[in-house]
Amino acid sequence: MKISVDDQQLFELSETQKRVIQNDINIDEFDEDMKRRLQYILMNKYEQCFKRLKSEWEPRLIAEGATTLPTSEESFASIVFAHPEYKDRKTREQEKIN
């Protein structure tokens, strides 16, 4: 099983590794189970990052006079990313160095 993102292979499970996992997971469910696990990991990371983004920015936006904030995560994130004071992790780290 090859795992790729944007056409770049990240890693590959050998047949032996697959069979070890299939000792616990039905072979007929294996592919779907592996996809579900990968999705879970990425979505869990997203949810944790969004929680931190919201806890940082919601009070800031309210302090600046926002009376309503969107309930949609996409819309909320778009407002934050459009804010003139928003900086992503790389930018914040580069500013600490300089």
Task: pLDDT band for 67, please (50, 70, 90 cuts).
Answer: very high
End-to-end CA distance of the chain: give it in Å, rounded.
Answer: 44
Q: Is residue 13 exposed (0-12), middle (13-18) or buried (19+ Cβ within 10 Å)? A: middle
- Could you report the per-residue pLDDT of 8-54, keeping only the tens digit for each? 999 999 999 999 999 999 999 999 999 999 999 999 999 999 999 99
Structure token pair of residue 73: 């995560």
In this prediction the pTM is: 0.84
Predicted confidence (pLDDT) at residue 83 exceeds the cutoff of 90: yes
Predicted confidence (pLDDT) at residue 98 exceeds the cutoff of 90: no
Predicted confidence (pLDDT) at residue 1 exceeds the cutoff of 90: no
Task: pLDDT band for 69, please (50, 70, 90 cuts).
Answer: very high
Mean pLDDT of the chain: 96
DSSP, residue by residue, 26-54: -TTTHHHHHHHHHHHHHHHHHHHHHHHHH
The pLDDT, as a whole number, for residue 44 is 98
